[in-house]
Amino acid sequence: MEEKKLCFEEALARLDEIVKGLEEQKTPLDVSLSLFEEGVGLVKLCTRLLDEAEQKVKILTRGEDGQVTEASFVGEMS
């Protein structure tokens, strides 16, 4: 699957398929390694897409004077 053209939801769905495939006891080692490599790429893609979305998120706050201001979203880091 071409990772660069996937949207977040498609990448996440493919990642779910890969995890299920890796959990199978009958998956040959070479196939497992290939799936793992694809999964790593998909995790990187999903992380990048989430980071980009987070940068776009804005928080609107109302100050004491009643004025609404816009501030950049600052997410919690885990």
pTM: 0.69
pLDDT 10s digits, 24-52: 888 899 999 999 999 999 999 999 999 88
Q: Which residue's entry shows tokens 């495939």?
A: 21
Residue 41 lies in a domain: yes
Domain that includes residue 11, residue range? 3-72
The tally of domains found in the chain comes to: 1
Q: Does residue 13 belong to any structural domain of this protein?
A: yes
Which contiguous run of DSSP H or E holds residue 69?
Answer: strand 68-72
Q: Residues of the chain with pLDDT > 70: what percent?
A: 81
Q: Of 42, 13, 38, 11, whose CA–CA distance to 27 is shortest?
A: 38
